[in-house]
Structure 1
Amino acid sequence: MSFATNWSNLRVLKTPIVALEYYSADRPRILSSFHHFGSECCLPVYYWNPGYATLQQVQCVDKNLLKLGDNSGQKSISDAVAKMYNNSECVLCKTELSVESDVLQFLLENDNPGIFLLEDILESGSSEQPLLHRYSQLANAFFELKGRSIEQYWVLLGEYIQLPSKLRPLIPLLKCPLPDGIEVEVIVDNFCDRNCSLDFGLDAVAAKKRLAVSSLGLPSSEVELVLDRSLSVTASVVQIAQLVLEHKISQLRDQGLEFIAAPDVPHAGGLDLLDAYLSEVVKLSEADAKKYHLRPPKGMLLWGPPGTGKSLSAKLAAKKLGYALISASWGNILGSSNPDRALKKMLDTADNLGGCVLFFDDFDKGFSGWESNADGGIARRLSQKLLTWMQEHESPVLMLATVNRLEMLPAELIRRFDDGGIWFVDLPHNGARYEIFNLHLAKYFPEQFGDGIENPWNERQWYSLLSDYAGATSAEIAIAVKRCAERAYCEGRPGKIELADLRYQRTQFVLSSERSSEDIQGIRNKASFARPATGRDRSLFAAREQELFEYRPPACEKIGVCDRQQ
């Protein structure tokens, strides 16, 4: 664990109080690590949280000593205390050190040497006054412990620790991060080695890899717990991987994050320029790109009217990159009980998933009260943290956000998307609508529009249909095709469609570009501020370009030469 070296160095420097963020499932590892420190410097280790009335002393024993009939030749349990924590098991033993009210006051009044692990100290009290009292206690304790000759060290534990400004110079904040890919592979290998009855299927290497990928983004001890529990359900490694993934999805959902499934269409019709750029992003994600100091972009912004395929593009981007697609809501983060904690957990999870697209849909809606500062500055503070993360993170995470109104985002946030570009996803032109129609027709009517099948409608019929749907969004086209499929099934002709079906569906709804014409045109008028996601229409159905004012030479110019001869 990376915090181990840091804490050991701080102890040498006589730093009396340290804060440590960790995941609750990793408590056994934390206890074992500090017990190891205590045994090295001959100090007892104690643990306390608000659920205990007395301090609990941390004792570790060799796991092998706990086996019946396996304690021969061992002088005492203490002989095994100094072994590495992964070979030992920690237990909490009740002591006579009773904490009647305030644990910090109790420790200051007793000159007991040791390492004291104090959990949720900064979570005490629901009103502001007890926390202010706690902050003052910690500041006083720092200077008092600093002047003592007795070795007494406090470690403030918690899943999320936010120190006030007056304590930050005094109390260093350490973090026990989520395991990276290599650490997860070690956990999976150890699990597989311990359980010889596992069924790996035809490809053991691929099965292990899938299990490791499913475990990414979970704390180390939680991975071990879920793996061990899954053995009661199945011995198949592939099925265990699915159980771990389901557990992870459930945990992420509790954090306000959603795993988004792969799209049901192979590509987004008409977004050729955006699709070509995403292919470049895939290439830049290769390991060889680092040799030339190249890296993929960290953020992309998709801007345009609603229903034009921005969300679908995010799904396709994740599919192209081979990344998981994690959907987050900026509004939900701001509205959570602890927005700072929610943002931190989200970014930590994204950093440790081994590659993901972090997707914010309708990102602009979370900044509606930005100028008024009605939320007390929470949005500004969190957006600054997000900006810092976007600039500094080195993990394979592509942040992709969609917006309808770019002007609602703060200028400093927009600038962070210059890396991957701000892309304008406009209403589809004739050629793009033709592609979108065929994508969805192939999905619902494969016998008529599947691969290798000649298109049943001629050019004139298509031109007529595209004219009917002029101004339609890709979402409106998709819904119209789906409704045709539903109607055909209900009428006893499943999988069959005629041109008249789509023309009928067009009469059943009003285009959003007509219903909200001023709003959508207002968005489109600013399209020149971004990169176009769609190239020029070069299809058979492309509308002929016309100048707004065509130059028509006067009739006299045609006979100008004759005039000169006269």
Structure 2
Amino acid sequence: MSELQDLTALIRANTPLIVIETQDEARVVDLFRQALSQVWRALYRWSITEGLRRLDMDREDEAEGPPDASAALQMMKQAEQRGIYLLLDFHPYLGYASSQRQLRDIVQRRHSLPHVVVLVGSKIELPAELDALAVRFSPRLPDANALLKLVREEAAHYADEHGGRRVEVDGEAVQQIVRNLQGLSLTDARRIARQLIFADGALNANDLPQLARLKFELLNRSGHLHYEYDTAQFAEVAGARRLKRWIEQRRNVFVAGDASPDPYRYQLDPPKGMLLLGVQGCGKSMLAKATAGGFGVPLLRLDFGTLYDKYHGETEKNLRAALASAEQLAPCVLWIDEIEKGLASGGEDGGVSRRVLGYLLTWMAERRSAAASGHVFIVATANQVHELPAELLRKGRFDEIFFVDLPDPDTRVEVLRLHLARRQLPADDFNLPALAAAANGFSGAEIEQAIVSALYTAHAERTPLDTDLLMQEIRNTRPLSVLMAEQVGALRQWARERTVPAD
């Protein structure tokens, strides 16, 4: 059934109390006006600034009652014909016992006609006595056609305000903009579309990063997600050839979804995510950033530490809010860094970790049949695999579990070349094979730190960095694979038969 049909059915059933949470009051009023064409009722709107006004006749400019909440309820009770009463931001007045009692009498039809009372507001919390009598109705978010119409309207407004100058439009970019506006109300989508158009009089691929930021700022009301402005490209990451190829194979299916022209797309499940295990400092975080860059979508980071709350149930509520925000920001990559710290098994926290794990697993499973959240790709990273719950590692939770190992000789050469280039140092001036051999057992982060330390030594000695200085720094460094040889060895042994090598 359509949104209008659902609402009409509630009116026909004389539903006594309907609660609608929305920021778009105008759209709700318009929806009820449309419903009157199928089921007639007198239609009224009340607000504290305008009082009670009738909307189904050409008399909207005439107030039929004072703005006082109690007086409005009394008029509703004494009305001689049944009607629909849209009460805007009325719920704060239900804190008064008299107003609450008056509304309960109307809803329970005590000496009152069978009215349909509709409470409209951005967030409505009712007293328990009224909440049990209420039906909540959620207006559906605009579809792609409605959003495309909206973008065209704003483009026309731009032309009107700029002497007929037309907006420069890239058709493919507009399709992506419309796809990224999905999940927003018409009001929010219009605000963002107008900002993009009026910024430079154009709609093109350059608008997509700005759209992602604006949408994130609008939807991340919980504050538990972090927008990572600096993503990376796979060219900036050494090694991980198998993982890069795996991502590239799934790129078009993830980004385009049902809009993809590929005739075989319906045979392919949308990619859900991957778990990256590995030795510390081997590039898991960089790979998470590069995955977002490879897909060409925003990167959101979920910090489990911000979710935990001392009050019962609040932690799970925070997780629900964060995941709901991620769904509305789709398509995106959701990066859960060091996931073991938030889901480590144990009973010291009163079972909070187990409940958080349970909700996360349920959400991951339900995404298979949810088109919107199917475009949230999870990248979870972990260092301590033995602290991860077994339920998370079961086949099917993630599409794949990759192990990011210590770099091999060829990858170490690539790491050296990348970090030297970032510091405007010509890699050809160094004996990279010899340096890579000396750095056996080093992680990528340790190789980078050796270059940083060698540069400080060169600066102190007023001499350019060369192979000898860098070699000396490498030989003076004890990598993690030596300092914690047993733990690193155990992790690599565990991963050998249980995971897919990233390289």
Structure 2 vs 1, CA of residues 44 and 293 (structure 1 numbering), >3 Å: closer, same or farther? Answer: same
Partner residue of 2:326? 350
Partner residue of 1:17? 17
Partner residue of 1:307? 281
Partner residue of 2:370? 393
TM-score, normalisation: structure 2? 0.76
From 481, 492, 499, give the equivalent of 1:513: 481
Structure-1 separation of matches of 2:62 and 2:280: 57
Partner residue of 1:427? 406
TM-score, normalisation: structure 1? 0.68
Structure 2 counterpart of 1:41, one-letter code: W
Task: State the secondary structure of the residue aligned to 2:274.
Answer: strand
Structure 2 vs 1, CA of residues 59 and 13 (structure 1 numbering), >3 Å: closer, same or farther? Answer: closer
Partner residue of 2:4? 4
Structure-2 separation of matches of 1:515 and 1:412: 31
Structure-2 separation of matches of 1:115 and 1:386: 38
From 238, 260, 269, give the equivalent of 1:295: 269
Structure-1 separation of matches of 2:252 and 2:385: 29
Partner residue of 2:501? 533
Structure-2 separation of matches of 1:332 and 1:384: 19
Moved more, 389-398 or 338-347: 338-347
Structure 2 vs 1, CA of residues 426 and 209 (structure 1 numbering), >3 Å: closer, same or farther? Answer: same
Task: State the secondary structure of the residue aligned to 2:108.
Answer: helix
Structure-1 separation of matches of 2:69 and 2:328: 39
Once the two structures are TM-superposed, the CA of residue 263 in structure 1 deviates from its matched residue by: 0.9
Residue correspondences, number: 484
Task: State the secondary structure of the residue aligned to 1:400.
Answer: strand
Say if 1:54 and 1:99, in contact at 8 Å, map to a contact too. no
Structure 2 counterpart of 1:269, one-letter code: A
Say if 1:178 and 1:348, in contact at 8 Å, map to a contact too. no
Once the two structures are TM-superposed, the CA of residue 350 in structure 1 deviates from its matched residue by: 3.4
Structure 2 vs 1, CA of residues 142 and 275 (structure 1 numbering), >3 Å: closer, same or farther? Answer: farther
Structure 2 counterpart of 1:17, one-letter code: L
Deviation per CA, 1:189-219, whole angstroms, max 9, x where unpaired?
Answer: 1111222138678754356457546645543
Structure-1 separation of matches of 2:269 and 2:304: 26
Structure 2 counterpart of 1:317, one-letter code: T
Q: CA RMSD in A?
A: 4.7
From 374, 394, 410, give the equivalent of 2:350: 374
Task: State the secondary structure of the residue aligned to 1:175.
Answer: coil
Task: State the secondary structure of the residue aligned to 1:300.
Answer: strand
Partner residue of 1:562? none
Once the two structures are TM-superposed, the CA of residue 278 in structure 1 deviates from its matched residue by: 1.6
Once the two structures are TM-superposed, the CA of residue 349 in structure 1 deviates from its matched residue by: 4.1
Partner residue of 2:335? 359
From 55, 68, 85, give the equivalent of 1:98: 68
Structure-2 separation of matches of 1:508 and 1:177: 63
Partner residue of 1:67? none
Structure 2 vs 1, CA of residues 148 and 378 (structure 1 numbering), >3 Å: closer, same or farther? Answer: farther
Say if 1:300 and 1:420, in contact at 8 Å, map to a contact too. yes
Structure-2 separation of matches of 1:512 and 1:316: 24
Deviation per CA, 1:26-53, whole angstroms, max 9, x where unpaired?
Answer: 22212322343357522223345xxx48
Partner residue of 1:468? 438
**1:185-200 mapped onto 2 (5 Å cutoff):** 185-196=148-159, 197=162
Moved more, 424-433 or 163-172: 163-172
Structure-2 separation of matches of 1:336 and 1:186: 46
Once the two structures are TM-superposed, the CA of residue 398 in structure 1 deviates from its matched residue by: 1.4
Once the two structures are TM-superposed, the CA of residue 172 in structure 1 deviates from its matched residue by: 4.6
**1:44-443 mapped onto 2 (5 Å cutoff):** 44-47=43-46, 52=48, 56-57=52-53, 59=55, 77=58, 95-96=65-66, 98-100=68-70, 113-117=82-86, 144=108, 150-157=113-120, 159=122, 171-196=134-159, 197=162, 204-205=170-171, 208-209=174-175, 212=178, 215=181, 218-228=184-194, 235-237=201-203, 244-252=211-219, 254=221, 255-260=223-228, 261-263=230-232, 266-282=235-251, 284-285=253-254, 287=260, 288=262, 290=264, 293-335=267-309, 342-353=318-329, 355-368=331-344, 371-374=347-350, 379=356, 382-383=359-360, 386-395=363-372, 396-415=375-394, 417-443=396-422
5+ residue gaps, structure 1:
61-75, 82-90, 450-454, 536-566
* Identity across the alignment (%): 21
Say if 1:383 and 1:413, in contact at 8 Å, map to a contact too. no
Structure-1 separation of matches of 2:92 and 2:445: 47
**1:481-560 mapped onto 2 (5 Å cutoff):** 481=451, 497-506=465-474, 510-517=478-485, 519-528=487-496, 530-535=498-503
Once the two structures are TM-superposed, the CA of residue 438 in structure 1 deviates from its matched residue by: 2.5
Structure 2 counterpart of 1:219, one-letter code: S
Structure-2 separation of matches of 1:384 and 1:58: 49
Task: State the secondary structure of the residue aligned to 2:367.
Answer: helix
Once the two structures are TM-superposed, the CA of residue 420 in structure 1 deviates from its matched residue by: 0.7
Deviation per CA, 1:36-71, whole angstroms, max 9, x where unpaired?
Answer: 3357522223345xxx488554748xxxxxxxxxxx
Say if 1:258 and 1:328, in contact at 8 Å, map to a contact too. yes
Structure 2 vs 1, CA of residues 268 and 181 (structure 1 numbering), >3 Å: closer, same or farther? Answer: farther
Once the two structures are TM-superposed, the CA of residue 308 in structure 1 deviates from its matched residue by: 1.8
Task: State the secondary structure of the residue aligned to 1:150.
Answer: coil
Deviation per CA, 1:479-505, whole angstroms, max 9, x where unpaired?
Answer: 444565677789888xx7522243244
Structure 2 vs 1, CA of residues 526 and 29 (structure 1 numbering), >3 Å: closer, same or farther? Answer: same
Once the two structures are TM-superposed, the CA of residue 410 in structure 1 deviates from its matched residue by: 3.9
Once the two structures are TM-superposed, the CA of residue 339 in structure 1 deviates from its matched residue by: 5.2
Say if 2:77 and 2:111, in contact at 8 Å, map to a contact too. no
Structure-1 separation of matches of 2:101 and 2:111: 16
Deviation per CA, 1:439-495, whole angstroms, max 9, x where unpaired?
Answer: 33344347x34xxxxx4555xx62x423432222222223444565677789888xx
Moved more, 318-327 or 380-389: 380-389
Once the two structures are TM-superposed, the CA of residue 315 in structure 1 deviates from its matched residue by: 2.0
Deviation per CA, 1:366-402, whole angstroms, max 9, x where unpaired?
Answer: 2247634537676256435534543432232212211
Structure 2 vs 1, CA of residues 94 and 457 (structure 1 numbering), >3 Å: closer, same or farther? Answer: farther
Partner residue of 1:478? 448
